[in-house]
Chain A
Amino acid sequence: NAGVTQTPKFRVLKTGQSMTLLCAQDMNHEYMYWYRQDPGMGLRLIHYSVGEGTTAKGEVPDGYNVSRLKKQNFLLGLESAAPSQTSVYFCASSYSSGSGDTGELFFGEGSRLTVL
């Protein structure tokens, strides 16, 4: 059982280049999230999805786009990378019980992105 898998694990970009981070989960979770983690700051939500075909903005969505064409995959795109987007990106997924309680977040191993 792989859980949450992110690719690539490392990437270096030049300012203005574009790229896509892929997140795949095999736990049949409805919810998926993209976070960024910067030194001295907590994990910050970029975008999230509550189901296939639906996405929503999080706390820091500017400069990013996402898509959830399949339930198991959640893609994060950077159209024109900026040095401020240098960060470690984490994908996570979660379930939710029928009572509405919030389930555990399962994280990927992270993708370290450097924008020069």
Chain B
Amino acid sequence: KNQVEQSPQSLIILEGKNCTLQCNYTVSPFSNLRWYKQDTGRGPVSLTIMTFSENTKSNGRYTATLDADTKQSSLHITASQLSDSASYICVVSASRNQFYFGTGTSLTVIP
């Protein structure tokens, strides 16, 4: 069964600290993996995309990694800011218009 699991479910960190979010998937065949950020009351917005051949990709303070062998991805946030408070959703694509969603990690950054 195609599934995407994220951990932790929620996380609270102090402003300025780093954190890492995890995504494990069993989706096959694999096309790509994206991390989305969803601010409260808004729609999700793509942060990064990882294809099968990519191990690491950065977008500012966000760095995503992908291990296609173990089917794991992580999203590392460096020097967190209050504006990073959001839900982070891992989405794995199997093929054209087939998307599998994780339930998200709710991140709260406190001053």
Question: Using a CB–CB distance below 8 Å, which chain A residues touch chain B?
Answer: 4, 31, 33, 40-45, 48, 50, 90, 92, 94, 96, 100-102, 104-105, 107-110
Contact = CB atoms under 8 A, between A and B. Distances in A.
Given A94-B97, A109-B41, 4 more contacts: A43-B89, A45-B99, A90-B44, A105-B46
Interface residues of B, number: 26
A3 B96 CA distance: 20
A4 to B, nearest CB: 7
A102 B93 CA distance: 7
Contacts of B36: 105
Interface string B88-108: 010101111111011110000
Contacts, number: 59
State the majority secondary structure of interface residues on A: strand
Given A41-B103, A43-B89, A102-B31, A107 B44 contact: yes
B49 interface: yes
Contacts of B94: 102
B43 interface: yes
A40 B36 CA distance: 16
B32 interface: yes
Contacts of B101: 42-44
Contact of A102 (B41, B97, B102): B97
Contacts of A102: 31-32, 93-99
Given A42-B4, A104-B49, A109 B97 contact: no
Given A96-B96, A101-B32, A102-B32, A109 B103 contact: no
Contacts of A48: 97
A109 B99 contact: no
A27 to B, nearest CB: 13
B1 interface: no
The 8 A-B pairs at the shortest CB distance, nearest first, are namely A107-B43, A42-B101, A102-B93, A42-B103, A43-B101, A102-B31, A104-B46, A31-B97
B75 to A, nearest CB: 16
